[in-house]
A and B are shown apart, each in its own frame.
Chain A
């Protein structure tokens, strides 16, 4: 392993290409933790945003006018405003208004950490799109199929869970994939509130080692790799859900 690192030291000496994230133990550790922070942000936000989409689309079909209006307002708020503004709003706006709590050492702390605010705001942002995506899928499920479930004694909720959602999910999967890819890329905005994800860590490293071009190239490739992996997983899910006779 030392030889491997030495080669990158030699590369730096010979060409000026300075990849401290490989040969320098401290930078390597920082970047690995940044990578895992990005992965964690992605996975948690994907899960939460899909849950928001599923529940939101269900509430959108409610018989209660105010429930439907509430969902509409939520969508308008989070789809029609820039995600960076949302993150700032939550962290600096809402975060400042909330009371502080004392931690174990008696030091006052914000109720939510910057990472938690980032998770919350990114999930709501992507969730607003997911509500609309699931709604498009639900609308494409034939009324007659839902009626068949009703005729078999299914309640609205049971029909949603067992019939409407599984079909709607298959229909809207391509649109959902796009939104999830977008979400993965949008996690870089957490940089703005100092969440130590990949972009933030990269900035710290290039400030110390002044290797801006190298870190830029690395970041670009890292995201190609990460999003490529997400797309691959979604493709696997799409194939696993494929059912003969449904033209998807």
Chain B
């Protein structure tokens, strides 16, 4: 029996911004229910990889398959792709003119045309899931960074995505609120949500990641299961990075 094909398959992806080649042939697979963490120094192309996966940034060459759908295709149905791929940003990027609950409800109603009452019930459940019961009617401006980020996670979950991309979601947070966001992500991972995390939280990556990828200057230098990766990384660049961080 063949194993199920990976949910996300990235193959030899190249991307240039002007003269700067940000991705120089990146390949990796993510299976359903897996959590992978991408780590690496700033400017190594980590965030660009995520933005390519949901077609916010077009790629120059290579292939990205999401649930069998080719992203590098001029006829790509971006909306269909983005229903499968959720994304959570470093700066939360909530809609500031809507309450937390409305932020969660908007896309299912506007994009998926789902029934409002049903979406509202789901939004309340999701707010509870990210431990923000009672904050439903608050505006983003009234919430702390950690709370806003959890609203952003709930907003992404409301679309029932197959996979969620987390782009340095704790990088803009106060140290004391980082934990509450990480707890939320860990619970998602335990529920079996497929996650791709770009992160600087090494301890967290080691704990929740099924697989760690280290990127530097547009290539994946090294990867492995967390235990082996952190204990016995081979490449000098990885070693140097880990020594600086850990």
Residues of chain A touching chain B, judged by Cβ–Cβ distance below 8 Å, are 142, 144-145, 147-155, 158, 162-163, 166-167, 170, 241, 243-246
Beta-carbon contacts of B80-106 to A below 8 Å, as 1s and 0s? 001101110101011111000000001
Residue from B79, B93, B112, B140 having most chain A Cβ neighbours under 10 A: B93
Which residues from 23 to 58 on chain B have a C-beta closer than 8 Å to any C-beta of chain A?
54, 56
Tell me the interface secondary structure of chain B in the complex.
Answer: mixed
Pick 19 A–B contacts, CB within 8 A, sort by A: A147-B89, A148-B87, A148-B95, A150-B78, A151-B86, A151-B89, A152-B106, A152-B107, A152-B155, A153-B78, A153-B82, A154-B110, A154-B111, A158-B111, A243-B96, A243-B97, A243-B139, A245-B142, A246-B97
Which residues from 150 to 203 on chain B have a C-beta closer than 8 Å to any C-beta of chain A?
152, 155-156, 159
Report the Cα distance A60→B132, complex, angstroms: 40
CB within 8 Å for A144 and B93 given contacts A153-B83, A153-B107:
yes
Tell me if B68 is interfacial: C-beta within 8 Å of chain A: no
> Which residue of B has the minimal Cβ distance to A155?
B79
Tell me if B141 is interfacial: C-beta within 8 Å of chain A: yes
Report the Cα distance A144→B172, complex, angstroms: 14
Report the Cα distance A154→B54, complex, angstroms: 13
> Which residue of A has the minimal Cβ distance to B108?
A152
B91 lies within 8 A of A144 (CB): yes
Minimal beta-carbon separation of B120 from chain A (angstroms): 17
A244 lies within 8 A of B142 (CB): yes
> Which residue of A has the minimal Cβ distance to B143?
A245
Minimal beta-carbon separation of A111 from chain B (angstroms): 41
B159 lies within 8 A of A152 (CB): yes
> Which residue of B has the minimal Cβ distance to A166?
B97
How many residues of chain B have a CB within 8 Å of chain A? Answer: 29
Contact of B96 among A149, A155, A158, A246 (CB under 8 A): A246
Report the Cα distance A167→B82, complex, angstroms: 23
- Residues from chain A with a CB closer than 8 A to the CB of B139 are 243-245
A147 lies within 8 A of B56 (CB): yes
Report the Cα distance A163→B94, complex, angstroms: 10
Contact of B93 among A145, A153, A244 (CB under 8 A): A145
Minimal beta-carbon separation of B24 from chain A (angstroms): 24
- Residues from chain B with a CB closer than 8 A to the CB of A163 are 95
Residue from A153, A162, A166, A170 having most chain B Cβ neighbours under 10 A: A153
Contact of A152 among B82, B91, B97 (CB under 8 A): B82
A152 lies within 8 A of B96 (CB): no
B56 lies within 8 A of A167 (CB): no
- Residues from chain A with a CB closer than 8 A to the CB of B91 are 144
Residues of chain B touching chain A, judged by Cβ–Cβ distance below 8 Å, are 54, 56, 78-79, 82-83, 85-87, 89, 91, 93-97, 106-107, 110-112, 139-142, 152, 155-156, 159
- Residues from chain A with a CB closer than 8 A to the CB of B95 are 145, 148-149, 163, 167
B97 lies within 8 A of A151 (CB): no
Contact of A153 among B97, B141, B159 (CB under 8 A): B159
- Residues from chain A with a CB closer than 8 A to the CB of B111 are 152-154, 158
Minimal beta-carbon separation of B147 from chain A (angstroms): 12
> Which residue of A has the minimal Cβ distance to B158?
A152
- Residues from chain B with a CB closer than 8 A to the CB of A148 are 87, 89, 93-95, 152
- Residues from chain B with a CB closer than 8 A to the CB of A145 are 93, 95-96
- Residues from chain A with a CB closer than 8 A to the CB of B94 are 148
- Residues from chain A with a CB closer than 8 A to the CB of B56 are 147, 150-151
Report the Cα distance A243→B137, complex, angstroms: 12
Given A145-B96, A152-B156, A246-B96, 16 extra CB contacts under 8 A: A144-B89, A145-B93, A148-B94, A149-B107, A150-B78, A150-B82, A151-B85, A152-B106, A153-B82, A153-B111, A154-B107, A154-B111, A162-B110, A163-B95, A243-B97, A246-B97
> Which residue of B has the minimal Cβ distance to A145?
B93
> Which residue of B has the minimal Cβ distance to A144?
B93
Residue from B79, B142, B152 having most chain A Cβ neighbours under 10 A: B79
Top 4 nearest A-B pairs (CB, nearest first) are A245-B141, A148-B93, A152-B107, A153-B82
> Which residue of A has the minimal Cβ distance to B112?
A153
- Residues from chain B with a CB closer than 8 A to the CB of A152 are 82, 106-107, 111, 155-156, 159
Minimal beta-carbon separation of B144 from chain A (angstroms): 12
Minimal beta-carbon separation of B184 from chain A (angstroms): 18
Residue from A148, A149, A170 having most chain B Cβ neighbours under 10 A: A148
A244 lies within 8 A of B141 (CB): yes
- Residues from chain B with a CB closer than 8 A to the CB of A155 are 79
